[in-house]
Structure 1
Amino acid sequence: MPGPHLYPTPENPIARDPDTDDHAGMHVERHDSFASFRETTERFYRADPVRHTIPVTALAAARSYEAGPAPALLTLHEDRTVLGAYLRTPPFPAHVGALPDMDTAELVAALCEHDPAPGALLGPTEQVGRLAAEWCRSTGAIRELRIRQRLYELHIPEFPAEVVGEERGFVPSDIPWLAEWRAEYARDAGDIGVGTDSSEDALRSFLDSGRVPVLWSAGGRPVAMAFHSTPKYGMSRIGNVYTPARFRRNGYGAAVTLAAARRAVEAGAERVVLFADLANPTSNSVYRRIGFLPVHDTDEIVLHRM
Structure 2
Amino acid sequence: MASPIQVAHIPYRVPYALGLKLQEHLVAQRIAARAVVREHKGASPTQLSANAQAIDDAKRVADTDFLLLLEHTPVYTQGKRQDTEADNVAAAPGRTADFFKIPRGGLLTYHGPGQLVGYPILDLGAMNMSVRCYVSKLQDAIRDTLAQLDIPTVGAPSEEARYTGVWVDPTHKIASLGVHVQHRIVSHGFALNVQDEALEGFRRIVACGLREVQMTCVNEHLRKLGIDAAYDVAQVSRLAAGHISARLDRDTQPVSSELLSWEADAHSILAHFGGAYGF
Q: What is the TM-score of this pair, normalised by structure 2?
A: 0.27
The structure whose residues are more often strand, as a share, is: 1
The structure whose residues are more often helix, as a share, is: 2
Looking at CA atoms only, which structure, 1 or 2, has the larger radius of gyration? 1
